[in-house]
Amino acid sequence: MKTPLASWPAALRARLAAPERDRTYHPFSAMVRKELSDHIRSWRTNILLLIVGLTCIASIYAVLNGLDRNAELDDTVKQFLFLRLFTATDGTIPSFITFVGFLGPLLGIGMGFDAIQNERGRGTLSRTLAQPVPRDYIINAKFVAALAIVGTLFVAMGFLVMALGILMTGIPPTPEQFARMFLFLLASVVYVAFWLNLSILFSVRMRSAATSALSGLGLWIFFVLFYPILVNVVVGALSPPTEYEAATWTQWLLRASPNALFQEATSTLLVPEMRTISGFLTMEQAVGAIPAPLPLGQSLLLVWPQMTALVAGTLICFGISYLGFMRQEIRAR
CA dist 276 and 298 (Å) reads 10
**At 242, phi and psi to the nearest 5?**
-125, 160
CA dist 10 and 8 (Å) reads 6
The number of C-alpha atoms within 13 Å of 305 and in the hemisphere containing its C-beta is: 8
CA dist 161 and 44 (Å) reads 25
Residues 6+ apart with CB under 8 A from 325: 116, 135, 136, 138, 139, 204
| pLDDT at position 191 | 94
| pLDDT at position 283 | 35
Nearest alpha-carbon partner for 87 in 225, 77, 171, 107? 77
CA dist 246 and 232 (Å) reads 9
Could you count the other beta carbons within 10 Å of the beta carbon of residue 35? Answer: 20
CA angle in degrees (0–180, nearest 5) for 260-58-172: 85
- Give residue 325's identity as a one-letter amino acid code: F
Using DSSP's 3-state secondary structure scheme, residue 74 falls into coil
- Sign of the dihedral defined by the CA atoms of residues 39, 44, 48, 50, in that order: positive
- Give residue 83's identity as a one-letter amino acid code: L
CA dist 331 and 333 (Å) reads 6
> Going residue by residue through the chain (333 aa), what tens digit of pLDDT does each one get?
444 545 445 544 454 455 544 455 677 888 888 888 888 888 888 888 888 888 877 877 777 776 655 544 555 555 677 787 788 776 677 788 888 888 889 889 988 888 888 787 777 777 877 777 888 888 899 999 999 999 998 888 888 888 877 777 777 788 888 889 899 999 999 999 999 999 999 988 888 888 888 999 999 999 988 999 998 888 888 877 777 788 888 888 888 889 989 988 888 888 887 766 654 444 334 334 445 778 888 888 888 989 999 999 999 999 999 998 888 777 665
pTM summary value: 0.83
| pLDDT at position 35 | 87
Quick one: which H or E segment has residue 3?
A: none
